[in-house]
Amino acid sequence: MEPDILELESFLPYRLYRLADTVSREFSRIYKERHGLTRPEWRTLSGLGERGTMTATELGEQSAMHKAKVSRAVAELERRRWLTRTADENDRRVEHLALTRAGLAAYREMVPLAKAFEGELLARLSVEERVAIVNGVAALERALSCS
């Protein structure tokens, strides 16, 4: 008897990964062209832009990035003077990260571009498909407790 074969092209986790990667790469062209940012740098910039001050650990959890990627992104944004680090008063091993004025300006410049990208992406779908994808993703997030 032949073992079962997993057809990756119809395996939902594989399809979701490929779709997320494709969408992320397409959007990355915008921030790469505008600011020369990598995906981890964008995720760091956008996380801090949305939430304000965060630790590297919080950034990693929020963005699902490995701590090494967070560390490199933080170092690059700091080199650009887009980010500052402040030591925690109670635990010197912890640093609080925040955007500088220049970092916040770059973030604010990107927000309308990100929203336009999302709008253009969703405009490729019918109204019914948009509702289905938004609801389907939300349902999976709830089911996997990642929202």
Give 66-84 pLDDT, tens digit per residue: 999 999 999 999 999 999 9
User: Residue 60 in contact with residue 67, Cβ under 8 Å?
Assistant: yes
Give 19-67 pLDDT, tens digit per residue: 999 999 999 999 999 999 999 999 999 999 999 999 999 999 999 999 9
Name the strand (E) or helix (H) holding 85.
strand 83-87
What pTM does this model have?
0.87
Domains of the chain in start order, with CATH, are 8-144 (1.10.10.10)
